[in-house]
């Protein structure tokens, strides 16, 4: 993804009044020619994205895009797959601002629309199309750490947490990768789940 999309994933995110920071950086300022139906970015209450989506999907004339990501997390010392918003607290809605603004703005669990000044910021059709192409079907992307041979990594979880290693085979799409560990002066080759690793250099 481009730097523009990196800005989108800012977990802290802007408040609606902070102008063009964070999510607003990917949006466009209002122009003199506004089409009836446009995409806007909606800010939700913390951890209430799903509930906001359910409310917005019930509104006539409103299209909702809510990309998510599947990741692995340690929950109560157990590694689990969880699905989270790709952009925490943000989702996208396409609607006619003149007729649906109040319905969207005051939907349950919605804080506001991302704005430039006092005006809701437009999100381009091209950006939404690119996001959909990148995320794929079901609006759900799979998070897989990408490593290349020679990458220096840190084992971030599991019984060998804290040890450093070097990737030997990282080009495969498999869930596990081959790493070379140095333990007590001896080099040990083993395979390990890629989601337990973090790059160090």
157 and 137 both lie in a single domain: no
Q: Does residue 66 sit in helix, strand or coil? A: coil
86 and 182 both lie in a single domain: no
177, containing H or E segment:
strand 176-183
> Sorting pLDDT into bands at 50, 70 and 90, what band is 185?
low
**pLDDT tens digit sequence for 90-119:** 999 999 999 999 999 999 999 999 998 899
162 and 112 both lie in a single domain: no
> Sorting pLDDT into bands at 50, 70 and 90, what band is 200?
confident
Closest by alpha carbon to 112, among 8, 13, 17, 11? 17
CATH code for the domain in which residue 7 is found: 3.30.70.940
**pLDDT tens digit sequence for 22-36:** 555 555 544 445 568
178, containing H or E segment:
strand 176-183
Q: Is 107 a member of any domain?
A: yes
96 and 185 both lie in a single domain: no
Q: Is 147 a member of any domain?
A: no
pLDDT the model gives residue 12: 37
How far from 74 is each of 49, 86, 193, CA to CA, in Å? 22, 18, 13
CA pair distance 25, 47, nearest whole angstrom: 22
pLDDT the model gives residue 159: 63
Are the C-beta atoms of 199 and 146 separated by less than 8 Å?
Answer: no
**Domain with 19 in it:** 3-142
């Amino acid at each position: 993804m481009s730097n523009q999309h990196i800005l989108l994933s800012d977990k802290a995110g802007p408040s609606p009044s902070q102008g063009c920071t964070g999510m607003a950086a990917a949006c466009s300022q209002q122009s003199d020619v506004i089409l009836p139906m446009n995409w806007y970015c909606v800010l939700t209450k913390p951890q209430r994205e799903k509930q906001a989506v359910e409310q917005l999907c019930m509104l006539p004339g409103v299209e909702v895009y809510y990309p998510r990501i599947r990741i692995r997390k340690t929950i109560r010392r157990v590694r689990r797959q969880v699905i989270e918003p790709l952009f925490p607290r943000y989702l996208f809605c396409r609607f006619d601002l003149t007729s649906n603004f109040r319905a969207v703005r005051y939907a349950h669990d919605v804080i506001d629309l991302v704005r430039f000044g006092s005006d809701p910021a437009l999100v381009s059709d091209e950006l939404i199309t690119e996001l959909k192409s990148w995320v794929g079907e079901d609006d759900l992307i799979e998070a897989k750490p990408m490593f290349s041979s020679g990458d220096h990594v840190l084992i971030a979880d599991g019984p060998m947490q804290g040890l450093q290693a070097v990737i030997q085979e990282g080009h495969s799409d498999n869930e596990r990768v081959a790493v070379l560990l140095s333990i007590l002066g001896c080099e040990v080759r083993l395979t390990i789940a890629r989601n337990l690793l973090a790059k160090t250099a």
